Amino acid sequence: MGRMNEPPRLPEGSFAAWSRDRLALARRGADECGDVWQLEPGVYVAATAEPCEAVLRRAQDFPKASSPLFPPLKRSSGAPTREERARAHAARMRGLRPQAVAARIGEIAPTAARFADQWPTGQDIEVLPPVRHALAEIGVSYLFSEDAPTLLPFASQLFLAREVLVRPSRWVWPRWIPTPARRFRTRQQVAFINALQPIVRRRRSSGRLGDDMLGQMLRPSAHYGLLPEEAILDTLPGITVATFETPSRAAGWILLHLARHPRAADRVAAEAALLPADPSATTSTDLDRLQYTQALVREVLRLHPPSWLLTRRARRQTQLAGYTIDAGSTVLVCPYTAHRDAREHSDPDQFQPERWLDDSGSPAKPGVFLSFGTGPHGCEGAALAMAMLTLLTAQTARHYHLSEPPGPEPSYQVTTLEGLATVGLRLRATLRS
Ligand code: HEM
């Protein structure tokens, strides 16, 4: 017997469609059931702006499951305490907040420019590997500046370990079983930390802490003094991969849109022509002037949020959008459908970067935007991500017309498993005259 006040569900048998086309089923759920719907018993989907934002903000009622991809290593000296982890988080945020990113645009821009310079012209190439490489260089340099070259190869291995871990498999092994993928992950994590530890010790003993994000974590705080070394080391494998993993998925969608919308690409190119000739002279003021480019990046992230489905658990029985959610149930937050709700964005399926600009061409906020999440677990790297993606987009459009390989079939597949991304995307660049 159904309970009163339960969120609606799709007709019997619809769940089978989930494994075939998750985006289509998410849209169908939102269209037919509304704000909150039930995917299967105990699994709810927040489909529109209000319940999505409510779930993400109410972190007490809907905590984020803690299943870090790179869990803290077991050590004889003991794991960092909860409090030390919270302090490490605060220290990290000092290095990632918008003002910190703004101060370092001149370091980010040259790698974005070099990526564009080196794009081989006149041939179809698979785009994501070189994009990922460029973004990893930017991200790892942002965290570790002059120590980045030492750490970059280890960061690539961490990325590989992540790819192997999230690959769909027929079995879900209990967490304590050391599967080959998990052993590979732990080996790469240990290798990264072993490479990082002497850097941390050298910086501390020399007193030259650095102006990068690691430097922020090494600075003593007036309240609690120094962070223990373990608390610094444990947090960094995950952050290091985060600096380029999701951004490269986003970049795939952005470059595809530049190819499909040449007039929008022309507008980006016109803006980018005003950037300083020497990329290292680029400042946050220059970045702020790329308003159309930023709007384009935002619009692509609206249509294709790389993190299109976020997972939470209901800690206790609670209400959401007037429905009762049982304790222990899973609540999926779906930015993808929230972004394609006509009450939030007019012509929601249309690519219209202008919707993020007001009449005078300044930034405007027309409706919900959850690509970076919101609330206490909102994306820590949003400012860094916007800066690197905007510069990469501007530099690419400034130099080239992009096009998709001819033919009836798209040159890529779409995956929805670990984020919404293109797989195997191929594009061709020709020099702008
Ligand atoms: C286009 C690029 C990016 C997108 C779309 C993105 C998206 C997101 C989203 C949606 C969340 C919230 C997840 C949730 O609520 O469950 C998140 C969290 C996070 N992001 Fe990003 N992200 C991007 C780039 C970055 C970068 C460059 C960093 C680098 C530091 C980063 C670091 C993090 C971290 C550490 C969290 C976890 C926050 C927490 O759980 O408290 N992200 N990101």
- Segment 115-123 mean pLDDT: 94
Q: Are 378 and 56 in contact (CB under 8 A)?
A: yes
Task: Place 17 in a pLDDT band, splitting at 50, 70 and 90.
Answer: confident
> What average pLDDT does this structure show over 101-112?
97
What are the CA-CA distances from residue 375 to residues 25, 67, 79 (Å)? 27, 19, 27
Atom of ligand 1 nearest to the CA of 378: 12
Average pLDDT of the residues in 174-178: 76
Lowest mean pLDDT among 225-229, 239-243, 246-250, 304-308: 225-229
- Residue entry with tokens 């040159």: 411
When pLDDT is cut at 50, 70 and 90, the band that residue 65 belongs to is confident
Residue 3, pLDDT > 90, answer no
335, HSE (Cβ side, Cα atoms, 13 Å): 24
Which H or E element spans position 133?
A: helix 128-144
Q: Which residues contact 216 (CB under 8 A, 6 or more apart)?
A: 91, 92, 94, 95, 100
Q: Tell me the mean pLDDT in the region 375-379.
A: 94
Share of the chain above pLDDT 70, in %: 97
Q: CA 184 to CA 155: how far, in whole Å?
A: 14
CATH of 1-63+308-370, one of 1.10.1740.10, 1.10.580.10, 3.40.50.720, 3.30.43.20: 3.30.43.20
Other Cβ atoms less than 10 A from the Cβ of 26: the count is: 23
CA 306 to ligand 1 center in whole angstroms: 10
Instruction: Using the mean position of ligand 1's atoms as its centre, give its distance from the Cα of residue 176 in Å.
Output: 26
Q: Which residues line ligand 1 (CB under 6 A)?
A: 56, 64, 96, 239, 242-243, 246-247, 250, 306-307, 310, 371-373, 377-381, 384-385
Helix axes 262-272, 382-399, angle to 10 degrees: 100
Q: What is the CATH number of domain 64-307+371-431?
A: 1.10.630.10
Share of the chain above pLDDT 90, in %: 77
Residues 31-63 have pLDDT tens digits of 999 999 999 899 999 999 999 999 999 999 999
Candidate of 82, 85, 235, 246 to mutate for ligand 1, largest count of ligand atoms within 8 Å of Cβ = 246
Per-residue pLDDT tens for 320-331? Answer: 999 999 999 999
Tell me if 223 sits within 8 A of 368, measured CB to CB. no
Give the model's confidence band at 304: pLDDT under 50 very low, under 70 low, under 90 confident, else very high. Answer: very high
Q: Which atom of ligand 1 has the smallest separation from the CA of 301?
A: 5
CA of 183 to the centre of ligand 1 (A): 25
Per-residue pLDDT at 211:
92
Instruction: Tell me what the mean pLDDT of segment 306-334 comes to.
Output: 96
Burial class (CB in 10 A: 0-12, 13-18, 19+), 305: buried
**Average pLDDT of the residues in 50-77:** 87
CB atoms within 10 A of CB 169: 10
* H helix runs in 172-212, sequence order: 180-206
What would the pLDDT profile of 382-416 be if each residue is shown by its tens digit?
999 999 999 999 999 999 999 999 888 888 999 99
The closest residue, in CA terms, to atom 26 on ligand 1 is: 381
**Which atom of ligand 1 lies nearest, measured to the CA of 373?**
10
Mean pLDDT, residues 244-260 taken together:
97
d(CA 185, CA 417): 19
Interval between CA 379 and ligand 1 midpoint (Å) = 4
Q: How many angstroms is it from 307 CA to the middle of ligand 1?
A: 9
pLDDT at 73 over 90: no
CB 42 within 8 A of CB 196: no
Q: Candidates 379, 380, 392: which one to mutate for ligand 1, based on the most atoms within 8 Å of Cβ? A: 379
pLDDT tens by residue, 78-100: 778 888 888 998 999 999 999 99
- Among all chains, which residue has been given the structure tokens 């619809």? 14
How many angstroms separate the alpha carbon of residue 372 from the centre of ligand 1? Answer: 6
Query: At which residue do the structure tokens 């800690």 appear?
Result: 315
Helices (H), 207-356: 213-218, 229-242, 245-260, 262-272, 284-289, 291-303, 335-339
Report the nearest atom of ligand 1 relative to the CA of 306.
5
Nearest CA to ligand 1 atom 28: 381
> Is the pTM for the entire model greater than 0.85?
yes
pLDDT tens digits along 140-170: 999 999 999 999 999 999 999 888 877 766 6
Kindly tell me the sign of the dihedral angle through the C-alpha atoms of 374, 375, 378, 382.
Answer: positive
Mean pLDDT score, 203-222: 94
Query: Residue 260 CB: number of other CB atoms within 10 A?
Result: 13
> Where exactly does CATH 3.30.43.20 map onto the chain?
1-63+308-370
Mean pLDDT (the chain) is 93
Q: Average pLDDT for residues 360-380, to the nearest whole number?
A: 93
Domain with CATH 1.10.630.10 in the chain: 64-307+371-431
Confidence band for 2, pLDDT divided at 50, 70 and 90: very low
- For the ranges 167-181, 232-246, 356-370, the lowest mean pLDDT is seen at 167-181
Strand bridging mode 421-423 / 43-46: unpaired
For the record, the structure tokens of 281 come out as: 């002279």
Q: How far is the CA of 241 from the centre of ligand 1 (A)?
A: 11
Q: How far is the CA of 246 from the centre of ligand 1 (A)?
A: 8
Confidence of residue 18 (pLDDT cuts 50, 70, 90): confident
Per-residue pLDDT band for 13 (boundaries 50, 70, 90) equals: confident
pLDDT of the residue at 418: 81
